[in-house]
Structure 1
Amino acid sequence: MDDTQTSPQVLSGMASEAGRRPHNEDFAAVLAEPPGRATGVAAAIADGIGGAKGGRVAAELAVRQTLDGYLSQSEAKSVRRTAGHAIESANRWIHAQGRMDPALEHMGCTLTVAILRGRRLHVLHVGDTRLYRLRDGRLTRLTVDHRAEGQTNVLTRAIGAQETVRIDYASDELQPHDRLALVTDGVHGALSDRRIEDEMARRDAPDETARRLVRAALDAGSDDNATALVLDVPDLPAADVMGLSQDVADLPMREPPQVGETVDGFELQALLANGRYSRVFRALDQTDGAVLLVKFPKPQVLGAEAQARAAFLRESWVASRVQNPFVGAVLDVPVGRRTSLYLVQPFYAGETLERRLTRRPPVSFEDGLDIAIKLTKAAASLHRAGVIHRDIKPDNVILEAGGGLKLIDLGVARLPNLEAELGADIPGTPSFMAPELFAGDPGDERADIFALGVTAFAMFTGGKLPYGEIEPFTSPRHRRRQALSASRPDLPAWLEATLAKALAVDPKDRFQDAFELAFELENGAIRGAPARRGRPSLYERDPLRFWQVTALVLLVLLLASLAR
């Protein structure tokens, strides 16, 4: 899937026939989003009211004005608002013309609109045209006819009938391979839902399916115009930011649960972390038996609700955009299943790099270089998607049992396209933060490169930090950097030079791209095995002990000489 794709892939086909009527008063159309916009694919069908003048005019005007009006408005506004306003505008104009122009007296129509934006379907509906969805071989009607009870020919709502119009609105998730059909009553009035399901389930091309529906209706005795518009959704884009924001806004926050509870079918089996802002459990998904991680925010912390929603949106969006073997995933939970705000992630068997540094032996050159390269490639994949992690550190790196690696926790990531919505956050952990972040800079790729350098330095030195421990709420000066060779004289000089460049105080002096750093790390290994020395001398390993031993030897020699 193309990373730049913002609308679902849609294949469409349409068929329309007058049937036994002298004129065809139906109208339907499909429009894709204009270049550079993120408004999605919009389809509409309308049926001119029979027995009134100008039915075809009303139908065409309703469809054209609605689609043009929606697609011309800002994508920053909600679909319901923009499409609804477009329909209301078309309704007012049609109503006014039907009252002023004798040739169009009382003109009106029904209208059903389907907008496929991001990974969601939005439906707006007035009258008795219908929208059907075929999913997994089952047909579902997504609209309700606005007809007088017991009377098939009397509409209770129509475009143009009144100066104002009441519009049904619904929204639902799209899934790959969904098939939609918008039809007029000339089709659904002659065909049962079962027959429509059978025709759609044949999975012919959309235009062939539309023709078969229309022909089947006419063969079944339909005495009205018959129109069908069929849409196929073979693929979906990465999660749409606006849609994710709406989903997050609708989810309540609950008190963090306890071990043993079951939340939405996730059995919480063990507590893995209990931090200031969140609580993380190992959980069993009772629907398929998968072992997962479930992270719940803590709403009682001041300001945590806004932070939790922002972190949820960041991590969900990044997971949808970045597919990399070294970046941790976030699993999609259907909107209907999730009843509160939490994140679900795969359970990666292994340990954090932070925990690995607490035990001996120290990380070897070969293992450390492999970890550093994989971690740098993970950051590079994020940067390519326009994501700045801003909290790279050993505690956010999982070393998997089979040699794999996962960079996790994107809760404070910088997403330039979302910054206006999410606002500012404390961007990371002080000891791993680049100097410019302390000055209020939001951070770019070079800030992550600095954090990569600190993480690699800590990995090779057993947890030591190049600029020392930095306390929160301080303004460090980053004046003196510790030498890698002071702790690990067995490591090659080229590695120390590489990390020194990544750890430069001025961002302009660092690697400007994570791929550049990864290339340097890989090429350093390719240049040959490190120039290894023998076992470090006692002086290098323990200068104090060296001088103690030396003094003892001199004392023994002195005593021996005096005894002669």
Structure 2
Amino acid sequence: MKEVVDSETVSTCPNCQGSIDVTGIQVGAEIACPICNHEFTLTRMFGNFLLERQIGQGGMGAVYLGKDTILKRKVAIKLLKTELVEDEKFISTFLFEAQITASLNHPNIVQVYAFGEQRGTYYLVMEHIPGGSLDDKILNNGSVSEQEGLEIGIAIAAGLNFAHQRGLIHRDIKPGNILFGEDGTPKVVDFGLSLAYDSEDHFAGEIWGTPYYVAPEKLEHKPEDWRSDLYSLGTTLFHAMTGRPPYEAEDPTEVAMKHLSGNIVSIRAFVPTISSQTAHAISKSIARYPEDRSASYEEFIEQLEDAKRRLHGDEKEEVKVSILMSQEEETRRSAWLVMVFVGVCVLVAGVFYFFSDAIFKEKEPDLDIMSVKEAKDSKAAKAKPTNAPPKPGSNQSSSAPKASPTNAPPQK
């Protein structure tokens, strides 16, 4: 950065302490001392910060990896461009927003340690995030998985919501402004373009942001709010999970026109395996008009978390379905066995009934004959007279008394 770093033309050799002309040589370059031939990396002091090498370059300035010589810790130092420094209106707003940004303490926001002015150059000192950017991931891997994309979206949305609750919008969400900590935690960086969402000062006539991710209302020079950041986050996640932004063209103006067209591109058109829940959340976040987007960051986060739960539940769902099917088969088998048992019982009862009826029918005639015979004998016994005269020639004597011959009257 010529305005500050390259303006120093002399450096000191750490070995022989000789003076070396380093005109036009950037910080971080490997050089050899012309006096003792000692090779070393060119560094520069900026206040109490040692600038070691450049690690980034943006529209506002360059970012350097450095060391806080007082607190003895690695830091990232952003030095603003001279043309911005000359804009008093911008510097006034920048310093005001830097105060608010420095107060943001959230696990998904890069912490700002200090800000100020040194030798006519304004700067921000931030925590150093060594895990690279989302832009690097896309460049190296082509894209990220749906699960990782959801996790990034949830984390960054949480950080943006935290800032929004304190009156800030970011205004330049893109893959290059999402960094990863040593443990992989996603963090949003570069709130240098941030703006109080209730402010009317939007640097009229200027469009801050990268065309691939800029919200339509910003392109139309309309007031921005947190939903503009949501749009940029949605297009960023689209790019991360597909390997390409939703709208592409050779000319930035054509890209802008596609954003304004209102023709939402489905993420599943490029990655058919993306779940419908994820596709819905992304499509809603990049709706043409702000009122058609998610009603809040909380709603957007909830949609992403729901998609993540369903994504995690796929394998478990297969096991669950298998178990349920086994249980259902077992239930059907038990019901079938019960039906068979009942059927057998009915069959046995029917057979028993059939044969027992036949047996009883065979025995009934003997019982009837005996009953009739007994009835006839009983009737005969009752009908026989007790004083009937004996039959002629019968030897049976009568039970009636006989008249004595002597007492009979004489015959005349």
Q: Normalising by structure 2, what TM-score?
A: 0.61
Contact kept? 1:430, 1:472, Cα under 8 Å = yes
Q: Secondary structure at the match of 2:114?
A: coil
Question: 1:378 Cα shift?
Answer: 1.1
Shift of 1:479: 3.8
Give how far 1:274 is off: 3.5
Instruction: Give the whole-Å Cα distance in 1 for the aligned partners of 2:262 and 2:147.
Output: 30
Quote the Cα distance in structure 2 between the aligned partners of 1:360 and 1:431. Answer: 20
Q: Structure 2 CA distance, aligned partners of 1:470 and 1:447?
A: 24
Does the C-alpha gap of structure 1 residues 275 and 503 become closer, same or farther in structure 2, counting only changes over 3 Å? closer
Tell whether 2:4 aligns with 1:256: yes
Q: Which residue of 1 aligns with 2:248?
A: 468
Aligned residue for 1:223? none
The residue identity in structure 2 corresponding to 1:513 is: S
Mapped to 2, the partners of 1:496 and 1:445 lie a distance apart of: 21
Aligned residue in 2 for 1:436: 217
Distance in 2 between residues matched to 1:278 and 1:472, nearest whole Å: 21
CA positional deviation for 1:429: 1.7
Q: 2:76 aligns with which of 293, 299, 307?
A: 293
Kept in 1, the 8 Å contact 2:265–2:283? The answer is no
Q: Give the CA deviation at 1:300.
A: 4.4
SS of match in other structure, 2:261: coil
- Find the counterpart in structure 1 of residue 367 from structure 2: none
Aligned twin of 1:328: 110
CA–CA separation in structure 2 for the residues paired with 1:326 and 1:255: 32
Query: Kindly tell me: are residues 457 and 416 of structure 1, through their superposed partners in 2, closer, same or farther at Cα, counting changes over 3 Å?
Result: closer
Q: Counterpart in 1 of 2:133?
A: 352
1:482 to 265, 270, 275: 265
Q: Please give the secondary structure, in 2, of the residue aligned with 1:431.
A: coil
Distance in structure 2 (CA, Å) of the matches to 1:416 and 1:479 = 24
Query: In structure 1, what is the Cα distance between the partners aligned to 2:311 and 2:242?
Result: 22
Decide whether the 8 Å contact of 2:172 with 2:210 is kept in 1: yes
Q: What is the match of residue 184 of structure 2?
A: 403
Q: Secondary structure in 2 aligned to 1:283?
A: strand
Match runs of 1:85-96 below 5 Å: none
Partner Cα distance (2:219, 2:293) in 1: 17
8 Å CA contact retained: 1:431, 1:469: no
CA spacing shift, 1:417–1:497, aligned 2, 3 Å: closer
Aligned residues of 1:348 and 1:400 also touching (Cα < 8 A): yes
- 1:110-509 equivalent positions in 2, closer than 5 A: 255-258=3-6, 259=27, 260-300=43-83, 306-320=89-103, 322-332=104-114, 340-360=121-141, 362-416=143-197, 419-420=200-201, 423-424=203-204, 425-462=206-243, 464-469=244-249, 471-472=251-252, 475-476=256-257, 477-509=260-292
1:442–1:457 Cα change, 3 Å: same
SS state of the match for residue 342, structure 1?
strand
Q: CA deviation at 1:376?
A: 1.1
Matched, 1:512 2:290: no
**Structure 1 residues 511 and 440: CA distance shift in structure 2, 3 A:** same
> For 1:513 and 1:469, how far apart are their aligned partners in 2?
31
Shift of 1:419: 4.3
Q: Deviations over 1:300-349 (max 9, x none)?
A: 479656435533432332222x22110112113689x8975211111111
Tell me how large the CA RMSD over aligned residues is.
2.8
Distance change (3 Å), C-alpha of 1:431 and 1:363: same
1:527 CA displacement: 3.7
Q: Secondary structure at the match of 1:447?
A: helix
- The 8 Å contact of residues 316 and 330 in structure 1, kept in 2 or not, is answered as no
Deviation at 1:360, TM superposition (A): 2.3
* Contact kept in structure 2, 1:431 and 1:471, CA below 8 Å: no
Higher relative contact order (Cα pairs below 8 Å, separated by 6+ residues): 1
CA contact (8 A) 2:131 2:181 kept: yes
Q: Which letter does structure 2 place at the counterpart of 1:466?
A: P
Q: Is the 8 A contact 1:291 1:347 kept in 2?
A: yes
Partner SS, residue 345 of structure 1: strand
Distance 1:333 1:410, change over 3 A: closer
- Give 2:4's aligned amino acid: P
Describe the SS at the equivalent of 2:52. strand
Contact 1:283–1:293, Cα closer than 8 Å, also in 2: yes
Quote the residue 2:309 is aligned against: 526
Q: Distance in 2 between matches of 1:416 and 1:449?
A: 13
In the alignment, the residues of structure 2 paired with residue 319 and residue 478 of structure 1 have an alpha-carbon distance, to the nearest angstrom, of: 38
Q: CA deviation digits over 1:437-476, x for unaligned, max 9?
A: 11111211211111111011011012x1123348546651
1:414 Cα deviation (Å)?
A: 2.3
5+ residue gaps, structure 1, are: 1-253, 533-564
Counterpart amino acid of 2:208?
Answer: P
Mapped partners of 2:164, 2:148: distance in 1: 25
One-letter amino acid of the structure 1 residue matched with residue 236 of structure 2: T
Unaligned runs of 5+ in 2: 7-26, 28-42, 316-412
Q: Compared with structure 1, are the counterparts of its residues 431 and 396 closer, same or farther at alpha carbon in structure 2 (3 Å cutoff)?
A: same
1:393 Cα deviation from its structure 2 partner: 0.8
Question: Which string of whole-angstrom CA distances, capped at 9 and with x for unpartnered residues, describes residues 123-142 of structure 1?
Answer: xxxxxxxxxxxxxxxxxxxx
Distance 1:333 1:481 in 2: 40
Which is higher, the Rg of structure 1 or of structure 2?
2
Q: How many residues align?
A: 276
What per-residue deviation string (whole Å, max 9, x for no partner) do you get for residues 176-208 of structure 1? Answer: xxxxxxxxxxxxxxxxxxxxxxxxxxxxxxxxx
Distance 1:468 1:530, change over 3 A: farther
Equivalent positions of 1:36-75 (< 5 A) are: none
The 4+ residue runs of structure 1 with deviation greater than 6 A are none
Aligned equivalents of 2:313, 2:238: Cα separation in 1: 17
The 1:437/1:470 distance shift into structure 2, 3 A limit, reads farther
The sequence identity of aligned pairs, in percent, is 27
1:312/1:343 contact within 8 Å kept = no
Q: Tell me the SS of whatever aligns to 1:350.
A: coil
Aligned with 2:281: secondary structure? helix
Q: Distance in 1 between matches of 2:70 and 2:85?
A: 35
State the alpha-carbon separation in 2 of the partners of residues 366 and 520 from structure 1: 13
- Contact 1:432–1:451 under 8 Å retained in 2: yes
Contact 1:349 1:401 in 2 (8 A): yes
Distance 1:472 1:353, change over 3 A: same
* Cα separation, 2, equivalents of 1:469 and 1:305: 35
